[in-house]
Amino acid sequence: MTTCGLCTPPLFTMRPRLERRRLSLQPELAAGADRGDGALSRRRTAPALEPSLEQDEEEEKKEQKYRVVVMGSARVGKTALISQFLYDTFTPRYVKTVEDLHNGEYEVHGRTLKLEILDTSGSYQFPAMRKLSIRTADGFVLVYAIDDEDSFEQVRQLREEILEEKPSGVPIVVVANKCDLASRRQVPETQGSLVELEWDHGFVQTSAKENINIVQVFKELLSQAKVRYDLSPAVEKRRQSLPAAQLSANQLKHLQSISRKHNSKRSSCIIA
């Protein structure tokens, strides 16, 4: 169990996301047409095709993609937790989330770890969308607020729904957020033992507002999944946020605000 305590100041350096280009045969085919060679035979095109396929296979071996779905009731701090982890920002104003997809890209010893983090709606107005999110996920972060007893019961229901869709098991970390509001606690700390001992999931107490134990959440999840994540200050981390659904004007304004703060503030975290 990870208890509530001040986390180490981030050490990552923000980098722009780089798009990977792959070898194309189109220029060569066009050149053949200009020379008047006519249709190219299978034998003549094979030497150019094989290196391209080998290169693509080599690139795929160097890349690993992992999708994390963050779920929980409304107003428990799911978006704030993601914003602290990826952008080192906290926005106190609440904006209802429909569904947002965030991408984090990490270079680890010559290999690329692409971490997709899906921020889901807490109001559950789209059951079909939620079911699809569960089916396509590699791991889950289930968030409740310690000052909202009903939010823990929602986590219990979400867990049952996840296990129904993925009966063979999947990495899950339960997060007790808003630990800075200890005086208003409604969910007893003993629930952490229930999560770890009976549910056999990871458990972390956090404060998105105070940036407490945020990185530990994703360390725990990747550890369960046995994903290599030995990042260090020398490792580049490139991050960007992409909307996965049509956003309202208020949501778009909120994301733009986060982006401006992200561009003006450069910091990072150690995940080891």
Q: Report how far apart, in Å, the C-alpha atoms of 224 and of each of 70, 99, 203, 247, 256 are.
A: 16, 25, 12, 33, 33
pLDDT of amino acid 106: 79
pLDDT of amino acid 250: 63
Instruction: Please spell the DSSP secondary structure of 181-197, one letter per residue.
Output: GGGG--S-TTHHHIIII
150: domain CATH number? 3.40.50.300
**Could you give the number of structural domains in the chain?**
1
Range list of β-strands (E), the chain: 14-15, 63-72, 99-108, 111-120, 139-145, 172-177, 202-205, 237-243
Is residue 223 included in any domain, yes or no?
yes
Is residue 8 included in any domain, yes or no?
no
Is residue 12 included in any domain, yes or no?
no
Domain around 220: 61-264
Is residue 201 included in any domain, yes or no?
yes
Q: How far apart are CA 178 and CA 69, in angstroms?
A: 20
- 254: Cα separation from own chain's centroid: 19
Is residue 24 included in any domain, yes or no?
no
- 179 token code pair: 């630990």
- 8 token code pair: 């180490």
Is residue 271 included in any domain, yes or no?
no
Is residue 15 included in any domain, yes or no?
no
Q: How confident is the prediction along the chain (272 residues), in pLDDT tens digits per residue?
A: 666 655 444 433 334 343 333 333 334 434 444 444 444 333 344 444 455 556 655 665 578 899 999 999 999 999 999 999 999 999 888 888 888 999 988 776 677 888 999 999 887 667 888 899 999 999 999 999 999 999 999 999 999 999 999 999 999 999 999 999 999 999 999 999 999 999 999 999 999 999 999 999 998 998 898 876 644 333 344 444 444 444 456 655 655 565 555 444 333 333 33
Q: How far apart are CA 70 and CA 118, in angstroms?
A: 6
For the four alpha carbons of 231, 235, 241 and 244, in that order, the dihedral sign comes to negative
Is residue 26 included in any domain, yes or no?
no
